[in-house]
Amino acid sequence: MKRILLATTLTTALTAVLAPAARAQDAPFGTDADAAYAAELWSIMQELKLVGDGMIRSFPYEGTDPHGMMLETFYTSATIGGHTGDLLVKRNFGPEGVERDQVLSDPGTHLGAITVMYRREGGYDADNQNWFWVKYLPDGTLDKAPNGMRLAGRVAKGADTGCIACHSGTDDYIFTTDHLMQ
């Protein structure tokens, strides 16, 4: 139940963004190509021990909506299809009121989602610094918006709320550090 509550926090924020009649093929994200790229990215993150069994752990810090009440964030780079880009992996823990000691003692119970930013090759989405956005459930499946659209690709591009709108308020689209990773 705790995972469901946290997982729905991010998707609820997208409800207003996505028109109920929107179709995946009409959106700038959630396409089959986005899902395939996200699956490849998940495999790379498994190899790097950022997700899945045996993943490395860090000391959680206090978070906020829409990501989670406690967070772990990792910065690295990854290579997909010959392109090496910046990779940010954020583990989102909840529900509201969860404390650091609870996450540390039983992270699997409190992990609600894994949100990722990966800087793709130039020209992917130059308007938004070529970031590829994806929200996974703890088992690596793609989360979906309330209307069924997969949350991978240029998530909520052009909308007033959502991943890109929120993160575009910073120079590098990253809130947790002012380090430009380029």
- Burial level of 169, CB count in 10 A (0-12/13-18/19+)? exposed
Predicted pLDDT of residue 160: 72
For residues 156 and 11, the model is more confident at: 156
CA neighbor of 9 nearest in space, from 133, 173, 170, 135: 135
Place of tokens 């039983």: 106
Q: What pLDDT, in 10s, does the model give residues 11-52?
A: 444 444 444 434 444 567 889 999 999 999 999 999 999 999
Query: What is the reported pTM?
Result: 0.79
Confidence label for 8 from pLDDT (cuts 50, 70 and 90): very low
> Mean pLDDT throughout 126-152?
92
Residue spans per domain, the chain: 2-167
Contact 117, 160 (CB under 8 A): no
CA neighbor of 117 nearest in space, from 87, 154, 83, 84: 87
Q: What pLDDT, in 10s, does the model give residues 51-61?
A: 998 999 999 98
From residue 52, alpha-carbon distances to 1, 8, 57, 58 in Å are 20, 21, 11, 14
